[in-house]
Amino acid sequence: METIPCFILVGGKARRFGKDKTALFYRLLYRRCKKLFFPVKLVAKRKKYPHYPFFIEKSSNFAPIFPLMELLGKYPILFILSGDTPFISPLQLGKLKKARRVARGNPLVGVYIRRRDWHKLKRRLQTDYRLQKVAPTSPLPFPQLENINTFSQWRRWKESLPPYYQIIAKLK
C-alpha cells in the first residue's frame, strides 16, 4: 500500500470564530489521519501544540494556497485536511485517498498531486487565492464536510455527538 503524507491545516486566524478553533479538533483529526496516512503533520506558522509533529510554513500570508504550494514543492503527492472539519469520518478519508481527489465543495480536504495540480495552483496565485477547481473533485457527495466557522455551528456539532462524547466536550 502506498504511503501518502497528510497535512492538517491549523494555522488560520479564525476571525469569525473569535479564537483558534483548530484547538478544538486537532487531536481528533490527527488520530483519524494516523490510521490512513504517513507521516501526519500539523501545518502552521509556528508550533502551536506540543507533542505533535509540525510542518512550519514560511509564507507570511494567511491563505491555504501558500502552505499547499510549499508542501507540493517537497512532496509529489499529499493529503490536505482543514483543521476545522471534525465531521469527516475515517471512511470518507479513505475514499478520498483511494480516489486521489478532493472533496466536492471543500478543496481543503483531499489529495493533491504535484504533476496534476502544480500549474493550476501557480495560475491561481496570479488571480486569487481560492482553491476551487484546482484539483479534480470526488464524484461522491460528502455532506458532513462542512467547516465550523461560528460558535453556533460548534454548539450544533457538540450536540450531535453521542452522550459520552458530549460529557468530554463539556470538560474542555
Question: What is the helix (H) or strand (E) element at residue 7, kind and residue range?
Answer: strand 6-9
Q: Identity (one letter) of the amino acid at 137?
A: T
Which among 136, 143, 131 is positioned nearest to 99, based on CA atoms?
136
Q: Identity (one letter) of the amino acid at 149?
A: N
> For 108-156, what is each residue's pLDDT tens digit?
888 989 998 888 888 887 777 777 667 766 666 555 556 776 777 777 7
CATH value of 6-171 in 3.20.20.70, 3.90.1310.10, 3.40.830.10, 3.90.550.10: 3.90.550.10
Which among 96, 93, 90, 91 is positioned nearest to 135, based on CA atoms?
96
> For 64-113, what is each residue's pLDDT tens digit?
888 999 999 999 999 999 888 887 888 889 989 999 988 877 888 889 89
- In sign, the C-alpha dihedral spanning 75, 24, 106, 65 is negative
| Confidence at residue 169, expressed as pLDDT on a 0 to 100 scale | 47
30-39, 102-111, 152-161: least confidently modelled range: 152-161
Confirm whether pTM is higher than 0.85.
no
